[in-house]
């Protein structure tokens, strides 16, 4: 059995790509997208026609609506290839606007439903700012499930659990990147590998908290830099993995050991933690890594959304 098949016995494997033509070879359960991945995909010849057709059909509509329709087109193609769910992201420029995020999430779901896609097969992906988490709570109460992204801090995860969101995506690789860059020449790669990787440590803390206190929100480790990070999180609810790393796992027959187990987490002596808005903002501010990476991630997603809009305008 290769490592990818072994991982699938412990964890729901999700493909992290906008290139849906890569999906069938890895047989993931779910798939995730974001504006950066869609931007990358539409610049490939295989997908330019899909973008051009969408723009041509809806060129009289507002640009933000055409964007959502393009994202849904990709999502529908993905859902024809995976048995589970697809995550489709709300424009990151709305990250600090709860009402606008709710409205955008509802529109995305309506577009999917118009294509005959059941609401349970879509996760609305929202940046895990305080405003985004409150928007997700509203959507969840309306039966629309959410995936809270750009999650770097424990306080973000706790607030998402309190809001009863469906799923969170802690960004393992970007946490690793920050600590490695911060350490500079003193960084010891071997000492920070596997279970000691700072991104892995962060996800393990969230996993233990959720399982200890019976929080039903799913945890999906994301943004991996190497297979060691994936191996160290075997047993996590879900892991979303790039096609490149899926291929490495599929090509390895080394044994894979379960790293996270709910029974072990429930046996831990952990304090109960809750955050109101003021406490959340203070805790996030105290976490320099999370503050930096959240702001950086929002800026990057916004920049790629603008680039995607420019491509759509050129295609029209």
The string of pLDDT tens digits covering residues 95-127 is 999 999 999 999 999 999 999 999 999 999 999
Q: Which of 27, 40, 56, 125 is catalytic?
A: 125
Q: What six digits make up the tokens of 222?
A: 């994301």
- Averaged confidence pLDDT in the chain: 96
At residue 316, does pLDDT exceed 80? no
What residue ranges define each of the domains in the chain, with the CATH number in brackets?
3-311 (3.20.20.70)
- Contact (Cβ atoms closer than 8 angstroms) between residue 127 and residue 92: yes
The pLDDT value given to residue 35: 79
Report pLDDT for 122: 98
Per-residue b or e along 304-314, where b marks 16 or more CB atoms closer than 10 Å to that residue's CB = bbeebbebbee
Share of the chain above pLDDT 70, in %: 100
Concatenated DSSP letters of 170-219: EBHHHHHHHHHHHHGGG--TGGGSGGG-HHHHHHHHHHHHHHHTT---EE
Q: How confident is the model at residue 232 (pLDDT cuts 50, 70, 90)?
A: very high
| 40 among known catalytic residues | no
Region 263-290: mean pLDDT is 98
């Amino acid at each position: 059995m290769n490592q990818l098949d072994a991982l699938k016995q412990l964890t729901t494997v999700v493909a992290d790509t906008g290139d849906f033509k890569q999906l069938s070879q890895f047989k993931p359960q779910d798939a995730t997208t974001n504006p950066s991945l869609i931007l990358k995909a539409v610049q490939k010849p295989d997908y330019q026609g899909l973008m051009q057709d969408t723009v041509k059909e809806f060129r009289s509509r507002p640009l933000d609506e055409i964007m959502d329709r393009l994202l849904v087109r990709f999502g529908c193609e993905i859902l024809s290839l995976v048995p589970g769910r697809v995550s489709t992201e709300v424009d990151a420029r709305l990250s600090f606007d709860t009402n606008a995020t709710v409205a955008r999430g509802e529109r995305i779901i309506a577009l999917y439903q118009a294509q005959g896609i059941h609401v349970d097969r879509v996760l609305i992906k929202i940046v895990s700012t305080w405003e985004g988490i409150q928007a997700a709570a509203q959507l969840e109460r309306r039966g629309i499930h959410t995936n809270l992204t750009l999650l770097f801090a424990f306080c973000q995860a706790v607030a998402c659990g309190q809001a009863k969101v469906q799923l969170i995506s802690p960004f393992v690789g970007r946490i690793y990147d920050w600590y490695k860059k911060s350490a500079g020449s003193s960084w010891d790669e071997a000492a920070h590998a596997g279970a000691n990787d700072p991104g892995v440590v962060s996800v393990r803390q969230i996993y233990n908290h959720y399982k200890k206190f019976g929080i039903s929100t799913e945890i999906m480790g994301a943004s991996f830099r190497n297979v060691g990070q994936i191996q160290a999180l075997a047993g996590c609810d879900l892991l979303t993995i790039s096609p490149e790393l899926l291929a490495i796992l599929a090509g390895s027959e080394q044994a894979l050991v379960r790293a996270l187990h709910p029974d072990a987490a429930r046996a831990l002596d952990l304090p109960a933690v809750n955050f109101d808005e003021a406490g959340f903002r203070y805790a996030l501010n105290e976490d320099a890594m999370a503050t930096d990476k959240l702001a950086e991630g929002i800026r990057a997603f916004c920049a790629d959304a603008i680039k995607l809009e420019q491509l759509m305008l050129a295609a029209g």
